[in-house]
Structure 1
Amino acid sequence: MSDQIAKGEDFERKAEKKLNSWGIFGSKHEDAAELFEKAGNCFKLAKSWDQAGAVYIKLANCHLKLDSKHEAANAYADAAHCYKKTNIKARFAESINCLEQAVNQFLEIGRLNMSARYYKEIAELYEAEQNFEQAIVYFEKAADLFQSEDVTTSANQCKQKIAQFAAQLEQYQKSIDIYEEIARQSLSNHLLKYGVKGHLLNAGICQLCKGDEVAISNALDRFQELDPTFSGTREYKLLADLAAAIDDEDVAKFTDAVKEYDSMTQLDAWKTSLLLRVKESLKAKELEEDDLT
């Protein structure tokens, strides 16, 4: 490893010397770019991620001088991926910045699909940091670009992330709108229509979180209009049972409905956490009733 670092540092020195030398403008940047790329490869082999990241930024700058935007974008992305591997929190912002630079270059040359991929990667970095507000911002940017390129599956993956985080941030209507939209789109696709009941269940759980009993009833009617087969599913039964429990202000009934569904199809952590919010709200109402009597 130390041998690879020494080789990398030697290539980097030669590249810097080339940039500072006299010569034909384009030629020296081409030569320096080749040397920086070799340096970056050496640093990667040595797992010296900080050095590799810094060198790839220098490589990107060389490509920009040569007006090679595609190559510059790739170099920025390489820098970001190296900084991601440092496991140093301070490098988080640098990873984001490099990916933003990559996106900017790809947007300039009309590579929207690549731009979308890197916006999604930025969103995932924010997700890992549990910064859901920023994750939503970048998943939305990615979804818009994927949609414009008709990459519907990737767009929907991003939208589902947006809906998931929006619900966690108590932006329930935003989540409901997304899940219903995806369900509507999926109905016309033979491969995706089997996922409709799951999207409607998610929308229904978000509706329960809003605590509006009339809106819950209206939502179930709307889901049935959207997909006439939905009323025959266990997902519909769960939502209907939970809505009835809320209407009756019956915590035990609510708990039993969740347990019954979970015994057959295990609820994931996201659904469980939202249903727990509804249950806590229902408990609070029950206590209020007890205090009044």
Structure 2
Amino acid sequence: MKAGELYKKAGLIYKLSKKWMEAGDAYFQAANCFNKRNPIEAITLYIDSSNCYRDYSSNDAIYALHNAIELCKENGRFRTAAKHQITIGEIYESNLNDIQNAIKSYELAVELLNNEMDETKQLECYIKLGVFYSELEQYEKAIDIFLKVANISKKLNKSWYPTDKYILNAGLCQLIQNLKNDILPNKLKNILRFCLKFNENFKNSKEYTFLKKLIFSIEKKDPENFVQILQEYDKYTPFETWKLKLLLQIKQFISMKIIC
């Protein structure tokens, strides 16, 4: 334990000197010393190590977090383990641009949260997964996840998790998938029926009206009208980046006259 305290002090000195890699190494060694006798202290030190590494060595930051997660699981701290698993997902996404491993990390976080019955945190993970699968053009998976999110949000009944928004996300993924699969424009109204079958109250939402207008503009093969609809909606509900990219892909189908 004495060695652990010395490594811990060295980590603090390196941290104050802004020698981040050395600080990360020292905290990691301290955590290893505390690992068996004081796992809670070791968890904290692994996290300190990861925080020091994060902007300088993403792989070392992830490795330190993995050690913390294993100790959390061994000690029944599943919610804390999930929190750190989400952080690993964020590192893969933001630092390494590795979406596949980010997906695996968020899926592991969802599994850990099953032990805690924490549907709010699970919902946040599912939202990220839905966006990832949409960006990877795996629309079936994205649709399933967004509908799962809509179900959870309906159950939670929280205003900051609007159910209609997630039904719209599923509808937009279905729309672009249909266009990529050469579904005739006059069949696109089936998407509206698909959304209403999931939740008949969707018809009373601004999201339903927006989706309906988009489909009509596609039927008319009118890209100018399509853009106008986007601009009107964006004034009141700004688009997330991933959704705007998806909508612009849809516009390309109209502009390039791909639709029969």
Report the TM-score when normalising by structure 2.
0.88
Counterpart check, 1:109 vs 2:75 = yes
Q: 1:54 aligns with which of 17, 25, 30?
A: 25
Which entry has the higher C-alpha Rg, 1 or 2?
A: 1
Match of 2:225 in 1: 253
- After TM superposition, the structure 1 = structure 2 runs for residues 1-293 of structure 1, keeping only pairs within 5 Å, are 30-64=1-35, 66-84=36-54, 87-88=55-56, 91-129=57-95, 130-192=97-159, 195-210=162-177, 211=179, 212=183, 216-284=188-256, 286=257
Q: Specify whether residues 208 and 123 from structure 1 end up closer, same or farther in structure 2 by C-alpha distance, changes over 3 A only.
A: same
Preserved CA contact (<8 Å) 2:123 2:153: no
Q: Specify whether residues 189 and 114 from structure 1 end up closer, same or farther in structure 2 by C-alpha distance, changes over 3 A only.
A: closer
Q: 2:229 is matched by which residue type in structure 1? A: A
Number of corresponding residues: 254
Structure 1, 227-236 or 91-100: larger mean CA deviation: 227-236
Task: State the SS of the aligned residue for 2:250.
Answer: helix
Q: What do the CA deviations read for 1:209-237 (whole angstroms, capped 9, x no partner)?
A: 21245875334223223333321222111
In 2, the alpha carbon distance for the partners of 1:131 and 1:229 equals 38
Query: Once the 2 structures are TM-superposed, how far is the Cα of residue 140 of structure 1 from its aligned partner?
Result: 1.0
In 2, the alpha carbon distance for the partners of 1:222 and 1:228 equals 10
Q: Specify whether residues 155 and 194 from structure 1 end up closer, same or farther in structure 2 by C-alpha distance, changes over 3 A only.
A: closer
Match of 1:19 in 2: none
In 2, the alpha carbon distance for the partners of 1:154 and 1:177 equals 18
Considering only aligned residues, what root-mean-square deviation do their CA atoms show, in Å? 2.2
Q: 2:67 is matched by which residue type in structure 1? A: Q
Query: Once the 2 structures are TM-superposed, how far is the Cα of residue 127 of structure 1 from its aligned partner?
Result: 1.2
Report 1 or 2 for greater relative contact order, CA contacts < 8 Å, sequence distance ≥ 6.
Answer: 2
Preserved CA contact (<8 Å) 2:46 2:67: yes
Q: Specify whether residues 118 and 287 from structure 1 end up closer, same or farther in structure 2 by C-alpha distance, changes over 3 A only.
A: closer
Q: What do the CA deviations read for 1:103-160 (whole angstroms, capped 9, x no partner)?
A: 1222222221111011100000011132212111101111221233111111111111
Report the TM-score when normalising by structure 1.
0.79
Preserved CA contact (<8 Å) 1:204 1:216: no
In 2, the alpha carbon distance for the partners of 1:233 and 1:190 equals 16
In 2, the alpha carbon distance for the partners of 1:104 and 1:220 equals 45
Task: State the SS of the aligned residue for 2:156.
Answer: coil
Q: Specify whether residues 183 and 216 from structure 1 end up closer, same or farther in structure 2 by C-alpha distance, changes over 3 A only.
A: farther
